[in-house]
Amino acid sequence: MRLDGKTALVTGAGSGIGKAIAETYAREGARVALADVDLDAAKAAARAIGNNAIAVRCDVTKKAEITAAVAETVGAFGALDILVNNAGATHVNKPMLEIGEEEYDRIFAVNVKGLFQFCQAVVPHFRTAGGGTIINIGSTAGLRPRPGLSAYNATKGAVHTLTKSLAVELAPDRIRVCAVAPVATDTPLLPSFLGSAPGQREKFIATVPLGRLAQPQDIANAALFLASADADFVTGNIVEVDGGRCV
Ligand SMILES: NC(=O)c1ccc[n+]([C@@H]2O[C@H](COP(=O)([O-])OP(=O)(O)OC[C@H]3O[C@@H](n4cnc5c(N)ncnc54)[C@H](O)[C@@H]3O)[C@@H](O)[C@H]2O)c1
């Protein structure tokens, strides 16, 4: 198994991509903490996984809750090797003039500040342990932005830049930092990205060379590679999982 003996904390693991990553890591031998603001969803996913998986309530916009989630995970598993910053939020697809200040602040708080503060919370543990891996879930939205998602697109651009910045800063500590950039993925978040106009799903699929949307498992497979020893010399990469959409 590719993650035997490893421990991982996955944010936003109650649903969609995060849940698939947690399931995949556990299947590959890792003990996994599923952190989510929706504790019931995290609990249900952890129960389904078994393998000593734990559910942790955590709103990634709250520094105290991040600190507590990391402490709870280290307390339960005695170690932490892998952090997956997956929790994310968006506004519905709409013109930039219709994005309100609160909405803008909330999306940046979840997607950027939460991710940054989670990195701050795990780095001391990784340093003590002699290394670690951080995987951020970015998006093709930060590489090839589509109209109507301006604030969300900007958060994912920030995620990609943070990934590269932290990769070079933390490399001397043997901490690898990578991102996965999924194309539109079949999760509960998808309708907000596509917007409500009829036929959007089919129109979008027509722009993907491999001719389909991503499934959460496609993203989990890339996150598994990046967390495994096979990626030992890989850091600072933004791995597009997009069926060729960004070519
Ligand atoms: N679905 C897509 O098309 C797509 C494409 C590219 C990137 N992404 C990114 O993938 C990640 C996962 O999205 P998904 O599509 O699986 O969405 P999802 O809605 O299925 O899951 C997101 C999870 O994050 C949790 N969450 C939201 N706010 C939180 C907070 N403040 N603190 C803790 N948890 C919180 C939710 O409760 C939910 O369980 C996000 O970062 C998203 O931006 C998604």
The pLDDT averaged over each successive group of 10 residues in the chain (247 residues) is 98 98 98 98 97 95 98 98 98 97 98 98 98 98 97 98 98 98 97 90 96 98 98 98 97
Task: Report whether residue 118 contacts ligand 1, using a CB cutoff of 6 Å.
Answer: no
Q: Which string of DSSP letters, residue by residue, matches 169-210? A: HHGGGTEEEEEEEE-SBSSTTHHHHH-SSTTHHHHHHTTSTT
CATH number at residue 134: 3.40.50.720
Which residue has its alpha carbon closest to ligand 1 atom 19? 189
Task: Report whether residue 184 contacts ligand 1, using a CB cutoff of 6 Å.
Answer: yes
User: Is residue 2 one of the residues assigned to a domain?
Assistant: no
Task: Report whether residue 110 contacts ligand 1, using a CB cutoff of 6 Å.
Answer: yes
User: Is residue 163 one of the residues assigned to a domain?
Assistant: yes
Cβ pair 224, 189 in contact under 8 A = no
User: Is residue 172 one of the residues assigned to a domain?
Assistant: yes
Ligand 1 atom closest to residue 216's alpha carbon, by position in its atom list:
16
Please report the pLDDT score of residue 122 as a whole number. Answer: 98
Cβ pair 107, 91 in contact under 8 A = yes
Tokens standing for residue 145: 């932005």
Tokens 């998986």 sit on residue: 53
Please report the pLDDT score of residue 196 as a whole number. Answer: 84
DSSP 36: E
Tokens standing for residue 191: 């309708």
Please report the pLDDT score of residue 219 as a whole number. Answer: 99
Task: Report whether residue 155 contacts ligand 1, using a CB cutoff of 6 Å.
Answer: no
User: Is residue 246 one of the residues assigned to a domain?
Assistant: no
Domain tally, the chain: 1
- Residues of the domain holding 128: 7-241
Cβ pair 50, 23 in contact under 8 A = no
DSSP 62: -
Tokens 């490399």 sit on residue: 171
Handedness of CA 26, 31, 34, 39 (dihedral sign): positive
Please report the pLDDT score of residue 118 as a whole number. Answer: 98
User: Is residue 1 one of the residues assigned to a domain?
Assistant: no
Which residue has its alpha carbon closest to ligand 1 atom 7? 139
From CA 56, how far away is CA 166, in angstroms rounded? Answer: 25
User: Is residue 48 one of the residues assigned to a domain?
Assistant: yes
Ligand 1 atom closest to residue 42's alpha carbon, by position in its atom list:
39
Q: Rounded to a whole number, what is the largest CA-CA distance in the chain? A: 53
pTM above 0.85, yes or no: yes
User: Is residue 209 one of the residues assigned to a domain?
Assistant: yes
User: Is residue 12 one of the residues assigned to a domain?
Assistant: yes
Please report the pLDDT score of residue 195 as a whole number. Answer: 87
Set 25, 152, 193, 204: catalytic member: 152
Q: 186: alpha, beta or left, given left = phi > 0 and alpha = psi -120 to 50?
A: beta
Ligand 1 atom closest to residue 12's alpha carbon, by position in its atom list:
24
Task: Report whether residue 182 contacts ligand 1, using a CB cutoff of 6 Å.
Answer: yes
25 annotated active-site: no
